[in-house]
């Protein structure tokens, strides 16, 4: 398969956006019928994006890939699909949070929209990237989108990454960040009862872990947990990791790469501080909005976690987006179906923090 030469990010962005906004009939004519798997059909705009990505991107992460180089590549990919121009905020400012191993960098996004009933609520957000490759820059566009369309302030947390800082470093930083924000809510003009936690993928895992740790520590619980295709199981493999093991952006090999770096030999992969699905007791946790993607290796574990929360008496809204893939929160500027899915998550956040 011949590779498409790399173009400047702005040009790549325009090409992808144009292609993904074509009528579905035109997309099928250009790229063929979207694949059907497990009773689902891939959305035509996502199929077009994957067709192009397969010819422009490298293969999924190899066993020996350098994490530093992988982070550079991830930032470059995020820059291509980010909103252009960036969504304007009333204020974006750097913040520093005291953590267990030093200062944790963070970034606060305050939207321009006028709050309807007093001070804005706050979402403490943990980025995805397999605990290895994400950062504040890869998720600048999603955080702006969440703030602008939910009306909440968003505090993005730049927790420590593996393999330099393996488990439980990221979980410790995430919990420290929430505990500090809860204790310093007045700094953000918000009551502790209107602070939520959220994240995508590995960040969704951290948000769920924070809820468990906050309950067990007796802290004021988050108002809600916003979990976007979260990792919830690292000790066992649910069927979707095999069904969608390759061909849909995130691969099974990618997940093995991430988990092997976050969970080095000797780590208990069933520890509920990472495998939240294996936690014995999920009662007393905050209400949850869980979004999964139909063509995602992590689909089944996210949905299994939602089911376990329900069985424990936790209010849960679960929505599977059957035609979408992992990383859709980063694709709102490119793919109409992704934008619609994240707008729904923004609505859930707005309601959960009302």
Residues classed as catalytic: 201, 296, 326
Q: How many residues does the chain have?
A: 354
Specify the long-range contacts of residues 337-342, CB closer than 8 Å, at least 24 apart: 337/43, 337/45, 337/46, 338/45, 338/46, 341/291, 342/142, 342/145, 342/146, 342/149
Grouping H, G, I as helix, E, B as strand and the rest as coil, residue 291 is strand
CA distances from 4 to 57, 142, 246, 307, 341 (A): 9, 27, 20, 43, 29
Q: What is the CA radius of gyration of the chain?
A: 19
The secondary element (H helix, E strand) that includes residue 50 is helix 44-56
CB-CB contact of 107 with 143 (8 Å): yes
Q: Specify the DSSP class assigned to residue 70.
A: H
Instruction: Give one DSSP letter per residue of 150-209, joined into a string.
Output: H--EEEEE----TTTS-TTHHHHHHHHHHHHHHHTGGGGT--GGGEEEEEETHHHHHHHH
Q: What is the DSSP pairing of strand 36-37 with strand 195-200?
A: unpaired
Q: Give Cα 219 to chain centroid, integer Å.
A: 24
Calpha distance 53→58 (Å, rounded) = 9
């Amino acid at each position: 398969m011949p590779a498409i030469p790399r173009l400047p990010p702005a040009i790549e962005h325009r090409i992808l956006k144009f292609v993904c906004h074509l009528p579905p009939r035109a997309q099928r004519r250009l790229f063929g019928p979207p694949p059907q798997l497990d009773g689902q059909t891939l959305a035509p705009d996502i199929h077009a994006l994957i067709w192009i990505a397969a010819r422009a991107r490298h293969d999924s992460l190899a066993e020996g890939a350098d994490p530093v180089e992988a982070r550079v590549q991830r930032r470059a990919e995020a820059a291509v699909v980010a909103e252009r121009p960036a969504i304007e905020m009333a204020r974006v400012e750097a913040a520093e949070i005291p953590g267990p191993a030093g200062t944790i960098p963070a970034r606060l996004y305050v939207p321009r929209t006028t709050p309807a009933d007093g001070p804005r609520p706050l979402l403490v957000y943990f980025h995805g990237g397999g605990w290895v490759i994400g950062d504040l820059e890869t998720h600048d566009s999603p955080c702006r989108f969440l703030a602008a369309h939910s009306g909440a302030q968003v505090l993005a947390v730049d927790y420590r990454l593996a393999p330099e800082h393996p488990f439980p470093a990221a979980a410790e930083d995430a919990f420290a960040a929430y505990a500090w924000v809860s204790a310093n809510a007045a700094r953000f003009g918000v009551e502790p009862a209107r602070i939520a936690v959220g994240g995508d993928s590995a960040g969704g895992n951290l948000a769920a872990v924070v809820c468990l740790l906050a309950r067990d520590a007796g802290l004021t619980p988050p108002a809600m947990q916003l979990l976007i295709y979260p990792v919830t199981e690292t000790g066992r493999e649910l069927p979707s990791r095999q069904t969608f093991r390759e061909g849909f952006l995130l691969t099974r090999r990618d997940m093995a790469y991430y988990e092997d770096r976050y969970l080095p030999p000797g780590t208990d992969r069933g520890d509920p501080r990472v495998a939240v699905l294996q936690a014995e007791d999920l009662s007393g946790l905050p209400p949850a909005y869980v979004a999964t993607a139909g063509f995602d290796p992590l689909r089944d574990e996210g949905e299994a976690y939602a089911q376990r929360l329900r069985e424990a008496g936790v209010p849960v809204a679960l929505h599977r987006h059957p035609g979408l893939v992992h990383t859709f929160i980063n694709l709102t500027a490119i793919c109409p179906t992704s934008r619609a899915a994240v707008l729904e998550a923004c609505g859930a956040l707005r309601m959960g923090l009302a």
